[in-house]
Structure 1
């Protein structure tokens, strides 16, 4: 942290950082910026919600003060607070973050100390809170409510929850819609990754939901609140909770600190965000917030990832000679990444072609030289290959499976290996595979390892966070540390279809920033015999269609380049030559899924809004009989626009819109795409 200012609560104080401001006195704390302001009453050392205001509109979101303080520990706070100290601070939790204002409220009791953190980024309509618990004696345990609806009119009111709270708010439920978003990872055996349940809350009822992400939207104004728990998905959390949101009429209680049972423990951050303009605003605000955790660096973040694992030879071709040929072929295509997959190391993994020789998926440090380079496959070490790659402008990545033994007790030794490769070879992209944590200690140690990699390389290195299997950090628990490796898909098992990969990306893009996701494109000609008479088989599409699916995310070449046909290689080369000059601009824009949800039979696509009246669009015509389709683009002021055709099907055209954003796209061929850049030519003035 860069600056600090603290005092016991005894007089008024103010702390300012850019457009963020914190004010406090013995009874009250206020924190806010240009967009959002939250206010709490300080009650026995804990915070009680008093106000949540949209600064832009002036609208107050709360109906009154909350009945309980929050966040609150897993036990009732019966002791009297002896001393409260408030600290205002600015800086970064990790080097890649945007600097934020952090307010710390440390309250000391006889048997424990409770510290509440409140964090706000500049120019961002979001405030996060979390709780640290330091106990001097054994932890008390709360008792979960057993209340249920029986139909018997007892006259009793719903009892307020007092423990294990992340936040409690009194909110208007009349003419409000709640969206409960259920996300799924574990993508090796899951392929429907998003479910959105919509509830009208006009009539007061008692409800509860599990999940990381909720929206509460005013049906008239289309403005609302976003509630985000920055935690693994509910099934993967080491500390389970019955629900994440319990609602009874106006009382919304967000539960489940997930802090564990150690004498010193910390909850997951819980963030409230404000938005306007319905679905468009929700997506834009969520992307803006996620990007605060890992500030954009084009030199680090823009590359075409390559892994030979996608052709299912596993590590059988992990040799110096084979990778040298792949580097040269990739250079010709425009792929700029050398990735040492599983097999670079001396010890075989459980996925190795040599796994019968002692393949391990855990306890790797029981073999002294397990993580030494494999001299049989790389007799000259890695220096020559890395030199060849760097001479061609490539970036270096490595696979790694951290040792799970005793809750990742060897996390420092694991990170020593990777930091050594960073220092020696400039490796900056480390794919964490095989991850699974069953305890809070295991989760904490894993995050410590990720943090160390990023922090000690000054943000140059990051983690490819594999969420394909195991019990892992999911979409929101490790946002500063790297890119999400979303899915393994193979034609060998008939599990790769361009439209299902597109669908997963399209659905997730409403909630998870697409530039945080690594998305695969395969050799479409492999294993055609496994898709007999299948009209949506990969080989039915243009050869570059799979690549076109990934353009607004992080593309990953998931194949042995030497196995591509000449025509496929040429198609990839042509599209990458067009795409790469625009790649950075696309990823710096706000990215929206547009059109209909991909099904294999839709008109669908993505839009990147890079300026007020300019941006990029990629449109996909699936197996749909219509050769033209109007598609609504977001935040398109009324006027006439030029759509410059960059690649794929289609051609240059002009379109006029009256402010509703509707633009008609024409793609003559089915199973095809069009990639365009748009720019306002003339605006329409209102009469």
Structure 2
């Protein structure tokens, strides 16, 4: 037998001979070849047979990976990244935007991944896996590159699919490491001036997950930092635009790097919690120095690395684009839409949750739930979620008893339906929900003690609710991820529930408090419950909610966010004469604010006045276009919401799409909104909801459209078509 391994590749055998298990065992075929064939012909036939039988990525997938002598190449129809093999500790050679015809050459001759100085590299290995579509993830190809440095094993998994101009890189570590290079950057005030040449050579020893060093000085860079913990934060996005100069660190999950000369660039996305809550955080996520751009912060400390188990660092995604800001954002969104497939019957929802009117668990029981379902049906609700109170165990937020999340599994019935509130179990609720076309969903708080050591029990409890009642959507609350083991165990819990529900489970991941996943971690598991807002405490203002969604929608797919609308009639007296009080808006307008996202009716349906139920007509119209609207690239348009702006959203398909336009409390009856359409394009607009009129219009500068609405605090939803 002949084994094609890493060493043979380095002698010239193409990558395509590798199968899914890293090495191909070749049955000797030379003995079967007639003696009069030349050696050259023998080799040709062998290579031809292997090329036919061992191609690692089907042609229709349009992705490829090959190791040819000392060059590793990974790509698809949009992007290609070439590496110098370097015994497995690869160094980027070039990065190509194939559609834009741009090629960037890396000037750095150090490995892309850096964790500790002075370590040699050995045992480089190469492997290719093809992952099939599983209902959550689209088909993808994984190139697995592994190597060792002294007592540490490193595995880098480069993941690419056929649909986006990006390559994600997952990093795994195993073995022993005395420490990880990094820490706080030096304060510029303590450095010497530019005349001292030696002192200008800043130490570059910070650990790096990925890095590029490119030619040129004319770079425009934007770092975007995000904030969750929305019980405390109401400003969720911070943009930092700068020209890179001397070495400096920046915070954020996103780094956009644009070259002014080529009108093209790339982005790094760090799939990690918000900077303020990341694990083992060294003070920055990115480092820039002229044309050198690095991603820092592994999310691991030396003590997190085990001798017998792989520890995963934060994932880094590298994407390319050519053009302006729109092309940049479209490239980012192209990747984000591949993280979790958006299935209309599973992921689209207009949810009503029992918690928003502050009754806590006091009302929750069978009769209340059945009455809520009747109201929900009139509103057009698709998902009814029973929050805290359905279960036998009592939480600390219970209005009925002083409960606890400590040692949940000392009560084996904690996550079974309360036998007093639901004497017949949840069966009657589920049955009535099905009759009304409403899916029943539940609230769930994983057992936090000992870094979620009871994750298997938590997963089994949710899987059992799926088997018994078909319940598959769970609001996951109360998370705290203070260390790597907690993150590992929670990941195992989510994956186990997906496995036991045939990938039908959906998790509404609460982002309101604590150390949680934020906007860029756990995205494959469902959507994000963004914020708690209540009229009881006057912290619900419709334009605040609109502003948070508007700002996030530029960088986070809004269809992955649950956005609340409240009962505007409750506590109206507490707002007094406030012009931005919820009562100043129509119920339809308050609902429309949420349409770019997954609408969340954050109230008790039985507490609404009769007039509120008329909203059902608008919800019915919205549901007809909801999925198509969400399938587009949704970006903010107009001005930032302020309560007095013309603002909105655009959903972009190829030659068509949608607009939602809001006239806030402004005396201007006509607004001019910059959009993401090209200039001087003729479009036809048809109103679907709200009070706008049909029209044909040619876009102005920066794709500007002129929209008229008859009253303040009014809106219109349009479908648009670009006319040829």
- CA deviation after TM superposition for structure 1 residue 296, in Å: 2.1
Q: How much has 1:142 moved relative to structure 2?
A: 3.5
Partner residue, 1:590 = 633
1:369 is aligned to 2:391: no
Q: Is the 8 Å Cα contact of residues 239 and 440 (structure 1) preserved in structure 2?
A: no
Distance across 2 between alignment mates of 1:29 and 1:293:
25
Shift in alpha-carbon separation, 1:466–1:679, aligned structure 2, 3 A: same
**Residue 669 of structure 1: which of 704, 711, 714 is its match?**
711
The 5-angstrom pairing of residues 559-574 of structure 1 reads: 559-570=603-614, 572-574=615-617
**Residues 500, 163 of structure 1: CA spacing in aligned structure 2 closer, same or farther, 3 A cutoff?**
closer
Aligned to 1:286: 332
Q: What is the CA distance between 1:418 and its match in structure 2?
A: 0.3
State the Cα distance separating 1:530 from its structure 2 match: 1.0
CA distance in structure 1 between the aligned counterparts of 2:132 and 2:682, rounded to whole angstroms = 43
Q: Which moved more, 1:654-663 or 1:299-308?
A: 654-663
Give, in whole Å, the separation in 1 of the partners of 2:117 and 2:8. Answer: 26
Partner of 1:60: 103
How far off is 1:631 after superposition?
1.7
Q: Which stretch of the first structure deviates more once superposed, 158-167 or 467-476?
A: 158-167
Alignment check: 8 A CA contact 1:603 1:619 kept: yes
Contact 1:552 1:587 in 2 (8 A): yes
C-alpha distance in 2 between matches for 1:327 and 1:412 = 32
Within 1, Cα distance between the matches of 2:604 and 2:691? Answer: 27
Match of 2:178 among 112, 135, 139: 139
Q: Retained in 2: the 8 A contact 1:6–1:85?
A: no
CA distance in 1: counterparts of 2:100 and 2:415, whole angstroms:
57
On the 8 A contact 1:71/1:131 being kept in 2, the answer is no
> In structure 1, how many angstroms separate the alpha carbons of the residues matched to 2:4 and 2:167?
20
Q: Is the 8 A contact 1:649 1:669 kept in 2?
A: no
Runs of at least 4 residues off by over 6 Å: none
Within 5 A, what are the aligned runs for 1:172-251?
172=215, 174-201=217-244, 204-251=245-292
Pairing 1:128–2:126 present: no
> Residues 6, 277 of structure 1: CA spacing in aligned structure 2 closer, same or farther, 3 A cutoff?
farther
- Write the deviation string for residues 559-617 of structure 1: whole angstroms up to 9, x where unpaired: 111111111221x11211221111111111111111000011100001112331x2211
- 1:501 aligns with 545
Q: Which residue of 2 aligns with 1:13?
A: 15
Match of 2:341 in 1: 295
Task: Note if 1:347 corresponds to 2:393.
Answer: yes
Which of these residues, 82, 90, 108, is aligned with residue 39 of structure 1?
A: 82
* Among 649, 652, 661, the residue aligned to 1:619: 661
Secondary structure in 2 matching 1:421: helix
Offset from partner CA, 1:329-362 (integer Å, 9 cap, x none): 2112211222121001111101110233xx1133
* Gap change, CA 1:9 and 1:523, over 3 Å in 2: farther
Does structure 1 retain, via aligned residues, the 8 Å contact 2:564–2:594? yes
**What whole-Å deviation, never above 9, does each CA across 1:625-655 have from its counterpart, x for those lacking one?**
1100122332357554332222222222222
1: CA distance, partners of 2:543 / 2:701: 31
Q: Is the 8 A contact 2:57 2:130 kept in 1?
A: no
User: 1:89·1:101 contact (CA, 8 Å) conserved in 2?
Assistant: yes
Matched residue SS, 2:503: coil
Shift of 1:249: 2.0
CA-to-aligned-CA distance 1:504-530 (integer Å, 9 cap, x gap): 000000000011000011111110111
Aligned residue for 1:679, secondary structure, equals: strand
The answer on whether the counterparts of 2:83 and 2:93 sit within 8 Å (CA) in structure 1 is yes
- Deviation per CA, 1:277-329: give whole Å up to 9, x if none: 32222322222211111112111122211102111111111010011011112
Which segment is superposed worse, 499-508 or 368-377?
368-377
Distance 2:365 2:687 in 1: 41
Q: Tell me if the contact between 1:71 and 1:129 (Cα under 8 Å) persists in the aligned partners.
A: no
Aligned residues: 668
How far, CA to CA, are the matches of 1:432 and 1:207 in structure 2? 37
Q: 1:6 to 1:435 in 2, by over 3 A?
A: farther
Unaligned regions of 5+ residues in structure 2, if any?
17-55
Q: 2:112 aligns with which of 70, 91, 116?
A: 70
In the TM superposition, 1:150-549 aligns within 5 A as: 150-152=191-193, 153-156=195-198, 158-159=201-202, 161-162=204-205, 164-172=207-215, 174-201=217-244, 204-260=245-301, 261-263=304-306, 264-356=310-402, 359-549=403-593
Task: Name the CA distance, whole Å, in 2 between partners of 1:586 and 1:464.
Answer: 20
> In structure 2, do the counterparts of structure 1 residues 148 and 321 end up closer, same or farther at CA, with 3 Å as the change threshold?
closer
Write the distance in 1 (CA, Å) between the matches of 2:396 and 2:251: 34
**TM-superposed deviation, 1:10:** 2.4
Cα RMSD for the two superposed structures: 2.1
Which runs of 5 or more structure 1 residues have no equivalent in the other structure?
none
Distance 2:316 2:681 in 1: 41
Q: CA contact under 8 A between 1:638 and 1:660: conserved in structure 2?
A: no
Contact 2:182 2:282 in 1 (8 A): no
CA deviation map 1:357-397 (0-9, x unaligned): xx113321123322221111111111111101012211121
Q: Check 1:192–1:107 CA distance in 2 against 1; reply closer, same or farther (3 A cut).
A: same
> Which TM-score applies when normalising by structure 1?
0.93
Q: For 1:6 and 1:371, how far apart are their aligned partners in 2?
A: 53
SS for the counterpart of 2:364 is coil
Change in 2 beyond 3 A, CA 1:662/1:285: same
